[in-house]
Amino acid sequence: MTPSAPWRVVSLTALPNCRLELRFRDGTRGCADLSNLVRSPDAGIYAALADPQVFAAARVELGVPCWPNGADLDPCWLHEEAVAGREWRAWHP
Protein backbone atom coordinates (compact mmCIF):
# COMPACT_ATOMS: atom_id res chain seq x y z
CA MET A 1 0.00 0.00 0.00
CA THR A 2 1.39 3.41 -1.01
CA PRO A 3 -0.17 6.44 0.68
CA SER A 4 -1.08 8.91 -2.07
CA ALA A 5 -2.42 11.99 -0.26
CA PRO A 6 -0.16 15.04 -0.82
CA TRP A 7 0.13 15.60 2.94
CA ARG A 8 1.66 12.20 3.63
CA VAL A 9 5.21 12.37 4.98
CA VAL A 10 7.77 10.59 2.79
CA SER A 11 10.87 11.29 4.86
CA LEU A 12 11.93 12.83 8.12
CA THR A 13 15.08 13.72 9.98
CA ALA A 14 15.23 14.02 13.76
CA LEU A 15 17.00 17.25 14.69
CA PRO A 16 18.36 18.46 18.06
CA ASN A 17 15.96 19.97 20.60
CA CYS A 18 13.03 17.69 19.69
CA ARG A 19 12.50 19.00 16.19
CA LEU A 20 11.71 17.10 13.00
CA GLU A 21 12.54 18.07 9.46
CA LEU A 22 9.80 16.72 7.18
CA ARG A 23 9.32 16.16 3.46
CA PHE A 24 5.81 15.52 2.16
CA ARG A 25 4.61 13.60 -0.88
CA ASP A 26 3.88 16.81 -2.83
CA GLY A 27 7.45 18.06 -2.27
CA THR A 28 6.57 20.50 0.51
CA ARG A 29 9.15 20.67 3.29
CA GLY A 30 8.57 21.73 6.85
CA CYS A 31 9.68 21.51 10.43
CA ALA A 32 7.87 20.38 13.56
CA ASP A 33 8.96 21.57 17.01
CA LEU A 34 7.90 19.24 19.83
CA SER A 35 10.23 20.71 22.46
CA ASN A 36 7.55 22.29 24.63
CA LEU A 37 5.20 19.31 24.35
CA VAL A 38 7.70 16.67 25.47
CA ARG A 39 8.62 18.68 28.56
CA SER A 40 5.05 19.52 29.53
CA PRO A 41 3.56 17.97 32.70
CA ASP A 42 0.70 16.80 30.45
CA ALA A 43 2.95 15.24 27.79
CA GLY A 44 1.57 11.73 28.27
CA ILE A 45 2.97 9.35 25.65
CA TYR A 46 5.11 12.18 24.24
CA ALA A 47 7.13 12.55 27.49
CA ALA A 48 9.40 9.67 26.45
CA LEU A 49 10.45 11.71 23.41
CA ALA A 50 12.37 14.12 25.67
CA ASP A 51 15.11 11.47 25.68
CA PRO A 52 17.24 12.29 22.59
CA GLN A 53 17.76 8.60 21.78
CA VAL A 54 14.03 7.91 21.84
CA PHE A 55 13.28 11.03 19.78
CA ALA A 56 15.90 9.99 17.22
CA ALA A 57 14.00 6.72 16.68
CA ALA A 58 11.33 8.64 14.73
CA ARG A 59 10.26 6.94 11.52
CA VAL A 60 7.57 7.17 8.84
CA GLU A 61 4.84 4.52 8.70
CA LEU A 62 2.20 4.85 5.97
CA GLY A 63 2.99 8.55 5.67
CA VAL A 64 2.74 9.28 9.40
CA PRO A 65 5.65 10.34 11.65
CA CYS A 66 5.75 7.95 14.59
CA TRP A 67 7.93 6.44 17.32
CA PRO A 68 8.31 2.91 18.67
CA ASN A 69 6.41 3.80 21.88
CA GLY A 70 3.22 4.47 19.86
CA ALA A 71 3.44 8.28 19.70
CA ASP A 72 2.58 9.78 16.33
CA LEU A 73 1.73 13.08 14.66
CA ASP A 74 -1.10 14.04 12.30
CA PRO A 75 0.59 14.58 8.91
CA CYS A 76 -2.31 16.65 7.56
CA TRP A 77 -1.85 19.22 10.31
CA LEU A 78 1.92 19.26 9.81
CA HIS A 79 1.47 19.78 6.07
CA GLU A 80 -0.99 22.64 6.58
CA GLU A 81 1.58 24.56 8.61
CA ALA A 82 4.40 23.75 6.16
CA VAL A 83 2.38 25.01 3.18
CA ALA A 84 1.71 28.24 5.10
CA GLY A 85 5.46 28.61 5.69
CA ARG A 86 5.19 28.13 9.43
CA GLU A 87 7.04 25.81 11.76
CA TRP A 88 4.53 23.48 13.42
CA ARG A 89 4.65 23.78 17.20
CA ALA A 90 3.02 21.04 19.21
CA TRP A 91 2.40 23.02 22.35
CA HIS A 92 2.11 26.62 23.39
CA PRO A 93 2.63 27.00 27.14
pLDDT tens profile 37-85: 999 999 999 999 999 999 999 999 999 999 999 999 999 989 998 888 8
Classify residue 2: in a domain, yes or no. Answer: no
57 lies in some domain? yes
| Structural domain total, the chain | 1
Burial of 44 (0-12, 13-18, 19+ CB in 10 A): exposed
What is the widest separation between alpha-carbon atoms in the chain?
Answer: 38
Does the pLDDT value for residue 10 go beyond 60? Answer: yes
23 is a domain residue: yes
Domain residue limits at 57: 9-86
Task: Categorize the per-residue pLDDT at 1 as very low, low, confident or very high, splitting at 50, 70 and 90.
Answer: low
Do β-strands 88-89 and 29-33 pair in parallel, antiparallel, or remain unpaired?
A: parallel
